């Protein structure tokens, strides 16, 4: 049980931390750090804890059972780990884009926000799955 708790908590937190570092660096470079204004701090104070809770739930109930199946059969839904993760990142990136898209800014904005979502999910899942793999050894 202790190993399952570690595989639930550590990969999720490291994945979220990696995404926050990359998005924070991107914001500092591209937008001069405007996401760190005091007006946006409320967003982060709600967003980060909610994200952590959702990530832990997904990790415990979905990711770890799929990981065990992947270790035994080498495929999930007929796809390798890389293929399955890529499909999920693309789908969730598009959903992320649709949720946070400001329609008044047009379809270019949708593409930018969806790309940001894809990158965030790709970084999260890479760090998450890499951590689980290292913990299994």
Asked if the model's pLDDT at residue 19 lies above 90, the reply is yes
The mean pLDDT of the chain is 91
> What is the number of other CB atoms lying within 10 angstroms of the CB of residue 96?
19
User: Could you read off the pLDDT of 4-18 as tens digits, one per residue?
Assistant: 999 999 999 999 999
Total number of domains constituting the chain: 1
- DSSP designation for 80: -
Burial (CB < 10 A; 0-12, 13-18, 19+), residue 117, is buried
Mean pLDDT of 102-129: 95
Q: Which residue has the higher pLDDT, 25 or 37?
A: 25
Reported pTM: 0.90
Residue-range definition of the domain harbouring residue 29:
2-136
């Amino acid at each position: 049980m202790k190993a399952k708790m570690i595989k639930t908590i550590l990969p999720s937190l490291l994945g979220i931390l990696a995404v926050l570092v990359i998005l924070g660096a991107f914001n500092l470079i591209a937008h001069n750090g405007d996401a760190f204004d005091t007006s946006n701090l409320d967003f982060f104070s709600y967003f980060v804890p909610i994200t952590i809770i959702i990530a832990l739930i997904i990790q415990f109930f979905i990711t770890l059972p799929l990981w065990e199946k992947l270790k035994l059969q080498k495929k999930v839904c007929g796809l390798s780990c890389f293929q399955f993760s890529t499909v999920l990142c693309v789908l969730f990136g598009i959903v992320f884009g649709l949720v946070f898209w400001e329609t008044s800014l047009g379809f270019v904005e949708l593409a930018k926000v969806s790309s940001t979502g894809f990158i965030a999910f790709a970084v999260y899942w890479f760090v998450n799955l890499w951590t689980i793999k290292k913990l299994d050894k």
